[in-house]
Structure 1
Amino acid sequence: MVDLNLTAPMLLTHRVLPRMLSRGAGHVVFVSSLAGKRGGAYIGPYNATKAGLILLTQALRAEYSSSPVGFSVVCPGFVAGVGMYQRFADTGLKASRLVGTTTTDRVAAKIVGAIRHDQPEVIVNSVPIRGVLAFGELAPRLIERVIPLFGTDKFFRRVITNRDRLDPSAKG
């Protein structure tokens, strides 16, 4: 997971950055996750890799602030219809309405917007979550009590409980 979610984007960026700099243009967009904004039960390694992409973006923006190359990170919530979340949804596990979902089209549009406007960070979710995340920075102990009301810990507990049904190769 660390290799795929964090090391590979770092190595790929290292590989393409010199060419972008020499040509005088370019923009790197990392796709992180809302899971990188706040640690959740049962998905610690995933949280860590996605948080790493957010911090990597901040570091690269600082390091290359006077260059013609931009850096952005896009943080979608659960994406309906594809990928990891859809595998869970196909088995009946759904995100709570408080957490919501987004679509691939919306994520793609936000990526284009991030490039056009050189946005440092873009959150893509169907419900307003930025305020909750900001509040969590100001009152971390209180947000620890509030976040469980959103149901994500319960959702991932069900994922772990049903892991064998979701992925038969995960047994043993």
Structure 2
Amino acid sequence: MGQSLVAAFWLALAAVPILGYVVLLRRLRRRAQPEEAPQPAGLRLIEDDAALTADSLAAIRAESAAQPGFERESFSVAWKDETGAVRGAVQVIRVMELAEFRTLHVDPDWRGRGLARDLLQGAEDEARARGARHARLGTYSWQAPELYEKLGWREVARFPAGTDTHRIEYEKAL
């Protein structure tokens, strides 16, 4: 045991200069790096904002959840073929009595078969069953707005979105 203590002593003694050198290098590196100037408060452009958006949505949802009677849920209605592959889907976010229809998509090879109509009607039925009384959706003028009108959706706003392109907002009583 005496020899182990002696060996540990010499090892510790040898490590002191090495540890001192490591500490000295860290201090020198910190001094060599330019200090970032504090930025004044104000607006900033944030290009890659996925994390910021997630944080903001979490804060908004927490504030909203504290409101009396607030309810929010999300669901999708999908069309699957005989192999189980999804050929079309629509997402709906229900906030209290309002259903917001989002992301309707039908596989291009499956268009013209009535899938979009079936998806919308199925999602409307589900939203109604979950307590929604009103529905809204937004689309572009090149995304078959006549389909929505044929199914009873009423145009409530139209915004220019480019050359010969408009963003169209629809609503419907459920």
Same fold (TM over 0.5): no
Larger radius of gyration: 2
Larger relative strand fraction = 2
TM score, norm. by length of structure 2: 0.23
Q: Which has the higher contact order (CA 8 A, sep 6+)?
A: 1
Larger relative helix fraction = 1
